[in-house]
Structure 1
Amino acid sequence: MKFDPCLYPATLIKRYKRFLADIELPNGDITTIHCPNTGAMTGCAEPGFKVWYSLSDNQKRKYPGTFELAQNNQGHLIGINTGRANHLVVEAIKNNKINEFADYQQCKTEVKYGHENSRIDVLLSDDNKPDCYVEIKSTTLLIDNCGYFPDAVTTRGQKHIRELMTLISEGKRAVLFFCVQHSGIKEVKVADFIDEKYGTLLKEAIKAGVEVLCYGCEINENSIEIDNKLNFICD
């Protein structure tokens, strides 16, 4: 996925109120941009980080700039915009970059399903195999070269795992997909030290037959795309 229009560089001053970030432009001006990430963003948005942002021409937006990328002190590039994760996975599926999803005839997004008023991120279907429901999670929390999810307690994420287990009981295929938008992450674990209930549910889901896939991304200031498969470690 190429960034179109192109991104602009800046320096992060601070991220605050979850959805806002103040940045310093190369000419010294200070401006506020939208931060499309509801997580804790631990280690992803520290003051002084080099960042990149996109600009919208939508006149109705209060903040036309959107926080897209950050670079930490180790030089790792991080995808901040969690909304990009679904697009990245769908693009990779259509370009046959994810072997586990090969040969499905149809790919739909944001389809209503389940018993808890949910929408699945991706629904893959084929006449010759069970429907495949894919729940996508953007992963950026880095600790000692390992990625962790979630980075904050997530009741919504817990609901999604319950829904995936129900799908398995109905004879469908269910996949939890960690889209790793952090160049420093080499493997992924569940952050049960942050959300113990999420960790317990995920382990139950794996035993029930829910699949877990992790893929990293190739990231630069011009583009971001699904690149390589990473290991998921379930302790």
Structure 2
Amino acid sequence: MRFPDLHRGVLLARRQRFLAEIRLDDGRDILAHCPNTGRMLGYSAPGLPVWASRREPGGRCGWTWELAELGQTLVGVHPARANALALEAIAAGRIPALAGYDQVLREVSYGREGSRIDLLLRSPGRPDCYVEVKSVTAADEFGLGIFPDAVSARGLRHLRELQAVAAAGARAVLLFCVQRDDVLAVRAASEIDPAYARGLAQAGAAGVEILAWQCAISPREIVLRRRLPLLR
């Protein structure tokens, strides 16, 4: 996935979760939309180098915060890009476990709790494959990507829905899209959301396939590139 033209700067402040004050390298002070409303652990401190793109005309601010820079590592700030990255990788056949389907549907209603599945893969003669995509951007001190970075009742609901899908005979897949290239594996953040960690273990035992794939990131593009181990 190609980025629009990105402009480098420094984060001055994150305001009300949805906004970021940034001073660009050319000296301009801008107000950027922050697409990540979570805690953004470890990559939202004032003074951090960041990258922003111009937004389409309209709205409160004319910029979007796209990347945070941690030394040699870039972190994708935009969690909604995870679905598009997964779709692109599946279409290109880069994820073998999800290859060979004829049709990919997005945001399909399913389940008993009013959910929408991110991607539904279909082919004649094969069970439907329900794919829930989660963006991983936080990491711990040991170089492990962690999810979630805040208590996630929504994420726990999705695990229940995927378990029901697996019990009904379809494929149920949870795909962690890791939007940083400095982690070695992915784990559930039991210290942040123990209920989610238990739910993830239960889902895996109940037949939900759990995959973790890592992005390669530059200021020009972000691509889902390689599989990571999942620590249980």
CA distance in 2, matches of 1:17, 1:97: 38
How far is 1:18 from its partner?
1.1
Give the one of 182, 202, 211 matched to 1:184: 182
**Partner-residue secondary structure (3-state), 2:108:** strand
Can you list the C-alpha shifts for 1:63-110, whole angstroms capped at 9, x where unaligned? 1201101101x3211000001100000000001100001111101111
1:71-82 maps to which residues of 2 (within 5 A)? Answer: 71-72=69-70, 74-82=71-79
Give the one of 63, 68, 87 matched to 1:90: 87
1:1-235 maps to which residues of 2 (within 5 A)? Answer: 1-3=1-3, 5-58=4-57, 60-72=58-70, 74-143=71-140, 144-234=142-232
How far is 1:147 from its partner?
0.5
CA distance in 1, matches of 2:126, 2:89: 20
How far is 1:26 from its partner?
1.7
Q: Which structure 2 residue ranges, 5 or more long, are not aligned?
A: none
Partner amino acid, structure 2, of 1:208: A
Relative to the length of structure 1, the TM-score reads: 0.96
How far is 1:16 from its partner?
2.5
How far is 1:8 from its partner?
1.2
Q: Which structure 1 residue ranges, 5 or more long, are not aligned?
A: none
CA distance in 2, matches of 1:61, 1:186: 38
How far is 1:185 from its partner?
1.2
**Partner-residue secondary structure (3-state), 2:199:** helix
CA distance in 2, matches of 1:61, 1:93: 33
**Partner-residue secondary structure (3-state), 1:174:** strand
CA distance in 2, matches of 1:21, 1:75: 22
**Partner-residue secondary structure (3-state), 1:14:** strand
CA distance in 1, matches of 2:195, 2:201: 10
CA distance in 2, matches of 1:93, 1:64: 32
Relative to the length of structure 2, the TM-score reads: 0.97
**Partner-residue secondary structure (3-state), 2:160:** helix
CA distance in 1, matches of 2:138, 2:25: 28
Partner amino acid, structure 1, of 2:2: K
Aligned length: 231
**Partner-residue secondary structure (3-state), 2:204:** helix
Partner amino acid, structure 1, of 2:155: G
Can you list the C-alpha shifts for 1:92-146, whole angstroms capped at 9, x where unaligned? 0001100001111101111111111111000001112110000000001111211
Partner amino acid, structure 1, of 2:144: C
**Partner-residue secondary structure (3-state), 1:198:** helix
How far is 1:14 from its partner?
1.7
Partner amino acid, structure 2, of 1:118: S
How far is 1:38 from its partner?
1.9
Partner amino acid, structure 1, of 2:60: K
CA distance in 1, matches of 2:32, 2:212: 30
Can you list the C-alpha shifts for 1:150-203, whole angstroms capped at 9, x where unaligned? 000011101100100110111111011000001211100000110011111111
